[in-house]
Each structure stands twice: as C-alpha cells, then as structure tokens.
Amino acid sequence: MSRRGLGGGVVVLLCWVLASALAPTLLPGPLAVAERLPEIVASGPGGNGLTHLGRSLLRVAVATAVGLAVAVPVGVAMAVDDRIEAGVSVWLPFWMTIPTLVVVLVGMVLFSFSDLSVVAAVVVAATPFATVSVHEGAADVDRELLDMAAAFGVDRRSVLREIYLPAILPAVFGSARYLLSMVWKIVVLAETFGMNRGMGALFRFWFNEGDLTALLAALALFVGVMVALQAAVTGAERRLFHWREDVPTAR
C-alpha cells in the first residue's frame, strides 16, 4: 500500500476513534469491533464468517471473470470496427445509467434468488464501465503500426495478437482492478437482498439483530480481504507494466 493510502487509513481510524469517544452508545470503537472479530470468524448464522466470506469471494471472482470476458472482446471490436463502435456506443450511456439497485432486484426475480442472479446482476451493472476502459486502451494503438501491418498484408488475427493484445493488456488490468472495486459492492448488495449465504446475508443478520458491533466486525473482515486483493492486483499491474510511464508507482 502506498504512503498516501496508509495515511488515509490512519486518518479514517482516528476519526472513528474520535466519533466513538464522543458517542459511545451510538458507535462502537475499533477495539470493541476487533474483540468481536474472532467470534465472527469462528461462528455465525448458516456457517462461520469464513464460510460466508468464501461464498462472496467466489461470486466476486466469477462475476469479475465473466465481466472481463464480455468487456475485452466488445471493447476491442469497437476499436477495430467503426460500425460496431457506432452500434454499441448508442447503448452504452443507457446501460451505464441503469440504477444498480434496479439491476439487482430484476436479476433476483428473473433467476429466482440463485447464484446466477448475483452474477448476472453484477455483469449487467459493471461490464459497460470495463468495456469503455478496454475500448479506450485499444483505440490508443499506434496507427503507424497498423498502417505498416496493412502495407505488409498482415492478417487481422495476427494484428489482434501482435499489436492490439500488448496495447490493451494495461487497460485490461486497469479494468480488472476497477471491476473488482465495483463488483464486491454489488455482490454484497445482492446478497443482502436475497441470499442465505455470503457476507451480505451476514450483514443482514446482524442488522436484524441490532448488533452494530458485530456488523462492523463482519464489514471489517470483508473490507480487509478486498483491500488486500486490490493491493495484489495493483502490485501485479505495476510489476508487469513498470516500463510504461503512465502506470503509477508506489510512493
């Protein structure tokens, strides 16, 4: 984690401590939340915290993979073919402005509150943003390379593999990082509405119990894991593309 990120975390923690000191009956402090973490991990409704965490992470992984599997070919196709770009661009603004809550509710009803309903809702809500990112990366391909490939009669498959693929890999990693930051929030939202397993279901249980300390402990567990995953993806991106000047480096 960068110094700025660490500094931001310290500021949030200090604000939390101050707020809990001013209103201890309303907001439990970090120490009280930390004391509940072992209980959240070891036990809970419908399985322990790790069971719920594992189910949520599986949904996050599947939804992110499916979202990228859709976004990458569509984004590249938009950059390669102006007709495809014109056709898709008409719908992207509409697609990107659909309220996430509505998408989740419709997905739950259509797919009977199953794992498929969570994944479908996430893909519909998050994929257009990744598509735009991939398209922008593919559109930045050096036109001189494309002209040279055309002059030497290079087939389209080779152009995609040798020119477009290296150019869009940074955009794909960036899209994966962005998708991950969106997907886990949508997954938890969907689980809160209609699933019996997952961190969202765990949050709903402790909310119904009126136990804010346990709710915050479960939230801390999940957010901590997701921050670690984000850091891992960002670190891999920096190592793979350290030669690119536009990829930020840790400070």
The answer to whether 52 and 198 are in contact (CB under 8 A) is: yes
Per-residue pLDDT tens digits for 14-29: 998 898 888 888 889 8
pLDDT of 199 above 90: yes
Q: Using 50, 70 and 90 to split pLDDT, how confident is the model at 251?
A: very low
| CATH entry, 43-240, from 1.10.3720.10, 3.40.30.10, 3.40.50.170, 3.30.365.10 | 1.10.3720.10
Look at residue 113 in the predicted model and tell me its pLDDT.
87
pLDDT of 247 above 70: no
pLDDT of 171 above 90: no
Look at residue 7 in the predicted model and tell me its pLDDT.
74
pLDDT of 230 above 60: yes
Q: Where are the domains of the chain?
A: 43-240
